[in-house]
Structure 1
Amino acid sequence: MTDTAQRLLSSATAAFAAKGFHGTTTRDIASGAGVTPGAVYVHHKSKEDLLYCISKVGHEKTLDLVRASAGSSKDDSPVDRMAALVRNLVEWQAVNHTSSRVVNFELPALSDEHLAEVLQMRHQVEDEFRSIVDDGLKQGVFNVPDANMAVVTLLSLCIDVARWYRGDGRLSAAEIGEHHSLMALRLLGVDNL
């Protein structure tokens, strides 16, 4: 990727996070990247194509992180695996809160084709959570009335951090990750914390 293409992606990410997809113009993106508005179209077919690139890369990184965290040691208990998964994903969402806001909350602006591709990765992330919840229920270490609702709640707990986190807050990204991992285990009915 050229330097200009990377600057356009960075500028688009900042603009989409600040103004939303529909509130951002290609002129905003070009200005933030220090190029003329026409340069946007040299590197990307459209503003939606920029959003797709940001979203695709963000979801790929998230999926890689989730898979590594969930499968770090299959010998670990579901409690340990879920704690690591939530801790790592929350910290990632916090550290990358600007791009995560775009990746997680601007999906409706994607074309149907691009949205389908991104949703497939989101379902794979969900599957990793579901696998650990199912293992914990089978082993009797989790106690929830509805496994699917537990997964949706856990994902919301992790992803929503990008909506409110700011780097100058009382807690660091790592501390919030640790806090959320404990809350996740409580949500799953783990008693011995």
Structure 2
Amino acid sequence: MAIADVSPSKAERTRARLRAAAVAAISDRGFHGTTTRDIATAADLSTAALYVHYSSKEEVLFAIAKDGHAEALAVAHAAIASFDSPVDQLAALIRGVVAYHAREHVSAIIINRELAALEPAHRAEIGAMRDEMEGLVAAVLRQGVDEAQFSIADLRITTIALLSMGLDVARWFRSTGEWTPEYVAESYVTLALRIVGASAE
């Protein structure tokens, strides 16, 4: 039986190069200070080649934001699906999302910082993905409260606080720092479980 070729196509690899180049350029210059020429040059491509794949630098930013949110959501869904207990689900979700934001801290911080630069339709799509993440966390917390595993005074505030913790890692984390993404993630699991009135086993 033949094995299907699942390797990225040349076009997919080129788009990935452009997104990586855009992350670096926007991180240095900001979205409005970055031109399509800057992105293309950083990717070792012509500006014309960029327009084959993306119609504008805003579309590149949208692709970066959409990919980042999709990856974080995939991590969250996998964490929840792996366990039945709300305590274990929350621990796995926080562990995965925090580690992801630490590893991808450069792209995560520009996505959050430059969100207002997206066109309304694109911003709404990213907003829906953020709402989905909030819903996932809220559902785990609600189940934990219902099963008397969590003690939470205000579910919405606690949900927002936990999500903010995970996202804020991208603001201060540095790959050259003393902590690994895994160490930070485990530390945040302990903090999150304390916030909801649970304890790590």
- TM-score w.r.t. structure 1 length? 0.92
Contact persistence 1:70–1:85 (CA under 8 A): yes
Do residues 93 (structure 1) and 101 (structure 2) align? yes
Residues 100-109 or 45-54, more deviating: 100-109
Structure 1 stretches of 4+ moved >3 Å: none
Aligned to 2:111, which of 100, 103, 106? 103
Amino acid at match of 1:136: G
Match of 2:144 in 1: 136
Residues 37-46 or 123-132, more deviating: 37-46
Aligned to 1:63, which of 48, 56, 73? 73
Structure 1 unpaired stretches of 5+: none
| C-alpha distance 89-143 of structure 1, shift in aligned 2 (>3 A) | same
Amino acid at match of 1:88: G
Aligned to 2:183, which of 172, 175, 182? 175
Contact persistence 2:193–2:200 (CA under 8 A): no
Q: Distance in 1 between matches of 2:51 and 2:106?
A: 24
**Root-mean-square deviation (CA), in Å?**
1.6
Aligned to 1:47, which of 35, 39, 57? 57
Q: Counterparts of 1:138-177 in structure 2 under 5 Å?
A: 138-177=146-185
Residues 170-179 or 134-143, more deviating: 134-143
Query: Number of paired residues?
Result: 191
Amino acid at match of 2:198: V
Q: Counterparts of 1:113-132 in structure 2 under 5 Å?
A: 113-132=121-140
Identity of matched residues, %: 39
Match of 2:5 in 1: none
Q: Distance in 2 between matches of 1:73 and 1:145?
A: 25
Alpha-carbon shift at residue 53 of structure 1 (Å) = 0.9
Alpha-carbon shift at residue 192 of structure 1 (Å) = 6.5
Deviations 1:146-178 (A, max 9, x none): 100000000000011111111111111000000
Residues 101-110 or 62-71, more deviating: 101-110
Q: Distance in 2 between matches of 1:167 and 1:192?
A: 27
2:185 alignment partner, SS class: helix
Match of 1:78 in 2: 86
- TM-score w.r.t. structure 2 length? 0.89
